[in-house]
Structure 1
Amino acid sequence: MNFSDAFQQTKHLVKFSPDGQYIASCCQYRLVIRDCKTLQIINLQTCVDPVQVFSWSPDSLFLLCGMLKRGIVQVWSIEQAQWRCKIDEGSAGLLAAHWTPDSRHILTTAEFQLRITLWSLSNKTVSYIKYPKLKSGFDFTSDGAFMALAERRDCKDFVSLFDCEQWKLIRNFPVDTNDLAGLKWSPNDKVLCVWESSLDYRLLLYSIEGQCLAAYSAYENALGIKTVVWSPTGQFLAVGSFDQKLRLLNHITWKPIVECSHPSSIMDQDSVIVYKEIESKFATSGKTKSIAGTVFPIQSKYEPQELPFTVPSVKPNPEKPNPKLGVGLVKFSVDCTYIATRNDNMPNTIWIWDMTKLKLVVILVQSCPVSDFKWDPLQPRLALCTGNNKLYLWSPAGCVSVTVPVDSNFTVDKLVWHSAGSALALVGTTHFCLCYVNNEV
């Protein structure tokens, strides 16, 4: 495992290009594009204002930089350094900017969801879509042929389907929700999942023709759905809820096949391995800590725990909105053999479930709250970080804690995998570095 030097960035704006050739980062006004292998700068651009959001086009030929406060989007070309594009939403304001799958159109959402504007980079045309309900309330099919858009008309929720080749409305149908909160296509593009806001537990599944295939509700009169994720194979639909349970629905009956609880106590009969991070002050590198006038570097390692084991938890504040309670993050491994979850009122803990056995197999208990975790894009290997100077990796072979040998003040808040699984971008508050890892589990 090797590490690069640290490079400056702001707002965690670091992303690999989809084809894996480049890595781009933003530092205030500047957009810096580097070669992934040599890390040499191949393109440097200056934006009109500090960048707040940015993204690669799906074909890796363009970069979009959004200056939301100014209502401006700038687009840069990788192949033609002198090519320029500037989009100005003017008085309408700017909430979000997204690429379409063809990499030649950009969707911008105006403030207060007044409209969505479709900008063409090819023929410089502009089109408007009325009645959008959410800031990013749309989703594309995996082949890029259709877009589903959540709308609000006459105090009712609707979904509109657009042909992404001609950008024409092909279908509009009402959905049986009171306050639609999100929508997502299945991996095979045949089913559209729609769900309610957290005030009402309700999940609906529609065909591409607009027919309601199924409706699901786990309980009533309590905070409901927190997150919805399709498995890579499309066979499972994972629904994380405020009741601290993950429910896996199957793709045939749309009924739950298992409920994954996140108990505060792990008993002997559960057959679960609990790994806890143990910190020590005997290392040659890493963060330092002063104790009684002496400076000790801090290193950590995982140690298996005896059962029964009590999982550390935090009591949510009932007076604050969006309480830190329930299953807020759910991620499938690329081969769908594992699923990792985080129960938000147990922020230091990651739960790993074996999908072949439909049971909990591993619990990782960290010293600090987990800020991010991501699966390797090619194999069942999980990387996580906790806002300190360490990188943590888990695979079926075991788990390890690695100190990032960059700077004593460097912290890892966000992780970005390279598409080949050969490198990780470790993104901190003001800097980032690359970690080159072995492709073997």
Structure 2
Amino acid sequence: MNFSEVFKLSNQLCKFSPNGKYLASCVQYRLVIRDVSTLQILQLYTCLDQIQYIEWSSDSMFILCAMYKRGLVQVWSLEQPDWHCKIDEGSAGLVSSCWSPDGRHILNTTEFHLRITLWSLSAKSVSYIKYPKACQQGIAFTHDGRHMALAERRDCKDYISIFVCNDWRLLRHFETETQDLTGIAWAPNGCVLAVWDTCLEYKVLLYSLDGRLLSSYCAYEWSLGIKSVAWSPMSQFLAIGSFDEKIRILNHVTWKPIKEFEHPATITNLKTVVYKEVERSAGIRADDFPFTTPRGNPTSLFSNHSKYEIAQVPVSLRTIKPDSDRANPDLGIGLLAFSANNRYLASKNGVFNVLSVSWHPLEQDSLLVMSKDQLCLCYLETEEEEK
């Protein structure tokens, strides 16, 4: 494994371009574009203030830099380095900025979520969308980029507006049966929109593209409800993670649960194979020598070796006790991720020592797991089904 030289970074702002050719990083008010293969600097842009957010366009032709404190967005072009665009929201302020799927429109959300300003780079025009709802997942685009769903809040009620992205005309507008809508997500096929309510009430609603309510699902009442939602790549299943540390899988035919997964701290199922990493340290330490060992020349004498052994069931997993005195405690299923081949589902339970999980986009049976102590790459080896 080879490592590059360390380069400066601010606010952890570092992103690869969608085509995988460029790497963008920020240092205070400077934007640095590097070639991925050589890490040589291709372009260096200077913004008007410290950069707080960056995002590539879908075609990797443009990159936006948001400066929320000043209500500014600057857009830079890789093909034409001398061209740039500055968007100033003025007294309305700025809390978020994102690209549309075509990479030629920018959606800016003003302070207090009073409106969304839609800027067109090609037509040099501006449009406004009122009443966007203040929630983390309030905007959702279909995978083909044809439609956008927007969560709205007006007259103390929740609404959904569906727009056509090529001309931004309103296609549908309807009220949702939610008390305080928290998030929305399109199915990969773009035919069904999942809407879920606040964590104080367990409710998932499924709407069609024309605004018809297809089904609703509630697993229980009078307890903290939904924390995460994820569609399978083939749109066949909807996974719902909740605060009771369970995953419920809904099918796309009846929208009823077909499977429920628990996350026990102790594994007792005899059919479950548990691999446990065992570390073996060298018997001689460098501190035991009267002389100083040279740096940069590690040997196997001082390195740790590890291997995986099959543990005997039952196995108790190491858990973390959530701090109930803090807001939004790390409890429940906070992350769900389907593999690209639709065969596996990875989840993250808040009480386990895991920060994130991510599937490899090409090696569909490889899973990257990051914890507070280490980074682990897991490969799932299973027998292929006979055709």
What does residue 84 of structure 2 align with?
Answer: 84
* Equivalent residues, number: 370
Q: Give the whole-Å Cα distance in 2 for the aligned partners of 1:87 and 1:36.
A: 29
Once the two structures are superposed, residues 323-366 of structure 1 have per-residue CA deviations (whole angstroms, 9 ceiling, x without a partner) of: 211100111111111111111012x2xxxxxxxxxxxxxxxxxx
Q: Give the whole-Å Cα distance in 2 for the aligned partners of 1:15 and 1:263.
A: 36
2:323 maps to 1:312: no
What does residue 243 of structure 2 align with?
Answer: 242
Contact persistence 1:289–1:297 (CA under 8 A): no
2:346 maps to 1:373: no
What does residue 260 of structure 1 align with?
Answer: 261
How far apart are residue 84 of structure 1 and its match? 0.9
Q: Give the whole-Å Cα distance in 2 for the aligned partners of 1:95 and 1:338.
A: 36
**Which sits farther off after the overlay, 209-218 or 259-268?**
259-268
Structure 1's 5 and 302: CA in aligned 2 closer, same or farther, altered over 3 A?
farther
Equivalent residue letter for 2:171? I
Alignment of 1:5-404 (within 5 A): 5-135=5-135, 136-269=137-270, 271-282=271-282, 301-346=307-352, 348=353, 370-378=354-362, 379-387=364-372, 390-397=374-381
Q: Give the whole-Å Cα distance in 2 for the aligned partners of 1:148 and 1:126.
A: 19
Q: Give the whole-Å Cα distance in 1 for the aligned partners of 2:188 and 2:349.
A: 25
Query: What TM-score results when the alignment is normalised by the length of structure 1?
Result: 0.79
RMSD: 2.4
**Which sits farther off after the overlay, 42-51 or 73-82?**
42-51
Contact persistence 1:31–1:46 (CA under 8 A): yes
Contact persistence 2:365–2:381 (CA under 8 A): no
Q: Give the whole-Å Cα distance in 1 for the aligned partners of 2:113 and 2:214.
A: 29
**Which sits farther off after the overlay, 218-227 or 298-307?**
298-307
Equivalent residue letter for 2:46? T
Structure 1's 147 and 63: CA in aligned 2 closer, same or farther, altered over 3 A?
same
Q: Give the whole-Å Cα distance in 1 for the aligned partners of 2:130 and 2:224.
A: 30
Q: Give the whole-Å Cα distance in 2 for the aligned partners of 1:258 and 1:141.
A: 26
Bigger Rg over Cα: 2
Equivalent residue letter for 2:368? A
Query: What TM-score results when the alignment is normalised by the length of structure 2?
Result: 0.89
Contact persistence 1:148–1:162 (CA under 8 A): yes
Contact persistence 1:278–1:302 (CA under 8 A): yes
How far apart are residue 275 of structure 1 and its match? 3.0
Q: Give the whole-Å Cα distance in 1 for the aligned partners of 2:235 and 2:138.
A: 21
How far apart are residue 7 of structure 1 and its match? 2.6
Higher relative contact order (CA 8 A, sep 6+): 1
Once the two structures are superposed, residues 280-321 of structure 1 have per-residue CA deviations (whole angstroms, 9 ceiling, x without a partner) of: 5449xxxx9989x99976665544322111112222233322
- Give structure 2 stretches of 5+ with no counterpart: 294-301, 383-387
Q: Give the whole-Å Cα distance in 2 for the aligned partners of 1:83 and 1:161.
A: 33
What does residue 298 of structure 2 align with?
Answer: none
How far apart are residue 396 of structure 1 and its match? 1.5
- Give structure 1 stretches of 5+ with no counterpart: 349-369, 399-441
Structure 1's 343 and 83: CA in aligned 2 closer, same or farther, altered over 3 A?
same
Contact persistence 1:289–1:298 (CA under 8 A): no
SS in structure 2 opposite 1:8?
coil
Once the two structures are superposed, residues 127-175 of structure 1 have per-residue CA deviations (whole angstroms, 9 ceiling, x without a partner) of: 1110100255111112211111100111111001111111111221001
Equivalent residue letter for 1:118? L
Contact persistence 2:348–2:356 (CA under 8 A): no
Contact persistence 2:19–2:60 (CA under 8 A): yes
Contact persistence 2:66–2:97 (CA under 8 A): yes
How far apart are residue 22 of structure 1 and its match? 1.2
- Aligned sequence identity (%): 54
How far apart are residue 371 of structure 1 and its match? 2.6
Contact persistence 2:118–2:128 (CA under 8 A): yes
SS in structure 2 opposite 1:69?
helix
Equivalent residue letter for 1:343? N
**Which sits farther off after the overlay, 111-120 or 316-325?**
316-325
Q: Give the whole-Å Cα distance in 2 for the aligned partners of 1:165 and 1:327.
A: 36
Q: Give the whole-Å Cα distance in 2 for the aligned partners of 1:301 and 1:88.
A: 56
Equivalent residue letter for 1:142? H
Q: Give the whole-Å Cα distance in 1 for the aligned partners of 2:94 and 2:305.
A: 44
How far apart are residue 277 of structure 1 and its match? 4.1
SS in structure 1 opposite 2:182?
strand
Structure 1's 70 and 81: CA in aligned 2 closer, same or farther, altered over 3 A?
same
SS in structure 2 opposite 1:54?
strand
What does residue 439 of structure 1 align with?
Answer: none
How far apart are residue 181 of structure 1 and its match? 0.3
SS in structure 1 opposite 2:91?
helix
